[in-house]
Amino acid sequence: MLQIIIAIKQVPETSNVKMDEVTGTMIREGVESIINPLDLYAIEAGIQLKEKYGAKVTAITMGPPSAVKALREAIAMGCDDGILLSGNEFAGSDTRATSYVLAEAIKKIKAYDLILTGERATDGDTGQVGPGIASFLGLSLSTYTSKIIEIKSKYIIVERLIEEGYETLKMPLPALLTVVKEINYPRLPTLKGKQKAKKIMIPIWSKKNMRLKQSELGLNGSPTRVVKIDHPKVIRKGTILKVSDEKTLDEAVNKMIKFIQKKELI
């Protein structure tokens, strides 16, 4: 039976993104959050493979205690279980530190054939965590995966998006795939799934029960830094040119041309 791990992330809803001005990190506690929308496609891909080949699907995420909500939603959709990586030592982690912790957790799980992630997270928009996990684990990697063609005991064949069109890859297992929207259409949680998700026990792993290097965690283990935060000002100043006849049309066009020339846009 295939062992599939799906790494997901809980992200703030777009309108609720807040930043810590001192540390330059995102504030997640007490903020309305959802599963990263692009991770839903990874969840659906895992469930479809489970239905086709038979598999155990485990969702895993790193975040504050409230991130357990994302795992329960993944289970309600069809995942078998979930694991939460949570602890103060993980606060402020960038993509590298996050990849490291997720990779070490997957090592602890031991049995896995395939790891799935979304193409990127909507809050950071870097697309680095999936490849980062693959790098730490030394796995074959397919980014921008648009189709899973076939899985055998020792290899997987996939199709991925490239600038010129599509590329077909045959990779040894275990492997990691980051998937794009084209791969499927995510299902909604079912009532039976919600009932299971409500009852299931989700373990919480931290540094206490994982072999982690302190120097690789949180802000200390994050080579990237937000050095400055600017708040854009919305200025709603402008000139409305009303056109009612040929004369006002000519006047409007002349004013637009002068404005463009003044701004040295042409």
For the domain that residue 130 is a member of, what is the CATH number? Answer: 3.40.50.620
Q: 223 in a domain, yes or no? A: no
- 166 has pLDDT over 80: yes
Q: What is the mean pLDDT of residues 165-185?
A: 96
Written as six digits, the tokens of 59 are 């969702």
> 3-state DSSP call for residue 214?
helix
pLDDT for residue 238: 77
Percent of the chain with pLDDT over 70: 92
Q: State how far the Cα of 196 lies from the Cα of 101, in Å rounded to an integer.
A: 27
Q: 8 in a domain, yes or no? A: yes
Q: 225 in a domain, yes or no? A: no
pLDDT for residue 102: 96
Quick: pLDDT tens for 44-78: 999 999 999 999 999 999 999 989 999 999 999 99
Do 92 and 15 lie in one domain? The reply is yes
pLDDT for residue 22: 59
Q: State how far the Cα of 89 lies from the Cα of 176, in Å rounded to an integer.
A: 26
pLDDT for residue 26: 58
- 30 has pLDDT over 70: no
Domain tally for the chain?
2
- 18 has pLDDT over 70: no
Written as six digits, the tokens of 67 are 């991130």
Do 139 and 201 lie in one domain? The reply is yes
Q: Is the dihedral of CA 150, 151, 157, 160 positive or negative?
A: positive
Do 127 and 255 lie in one domain? The reply is no
Q: 226 in a domain, yes or no? A: no
pLDDT for residue 7: 97
Quick: pLDDT tens for 110-163: 899 999 999 998 887 888 999 999 999 999 999 999 999 999 989 999 999 999
Q: 222 in a domain, yes or no? A: no
Quick: pLDDT tens for 74-109: 999 999 999 999 999 998 888 999 999 999 999 999
Do 29 and 134 lie in one domain? The reply is yes
Do 74 and 153 lie in one domain? The reply is yes
Do 207 and 244 lie in one domain? The reply is no
- 23 has pLDDT over 70: no
Q: In the structure, what pLDDT confidence band is assigned to residue 224 with cuts at 50, 70 and 90? A: confident
Q: In the structure, what pLDDT confidence band is assigned to residue 265 with cuts at 50, 70 and 90? A: confident
Do 32 and 113 lie in one domain? The reply is yes
Q: 221 in a domain, yes or no? A: no
Q: Which residues contact 61 (CB under 8 A, 6 or more apart)?
A: 7, 8, 9, 10, 67, 70, 71, 82, 83, 84, 85
Do 156 and 249 lie in one domain? The reply is no
Q: State how far the Cα of 115 lies from the Cα of 129, in Å rounded to an integer.
A: 12
Q: 228 in a domain, yes or no? A: no
Q: Which one has a higher pLDDT value, 24 or 221?
A: 221
Do 137 and 42 lie in one domain? The reply is yes
- 184 has pLDDT over 90: yes
Percent of the chain with pLDDT over 90: 63
Q: Which one has a higher pLDDT value, 219 or 57?
A: 57
Q: 7 in a domain, yes or no? A: yes
Range of the domain at 238: 233-266
Do 119 and 24 lie in one domain? The reply is yes
Do 203 and 252 lie in one domain? The reply is no
Do 193 and 93 lie in one domain? The reply is yes
Q: In the structure, what pLDDT confidence band is assigned to residue 32 with cuts at 50, 70 and 90? A: confident
* Strand 140-151, strand 175-179: pairing: parallel
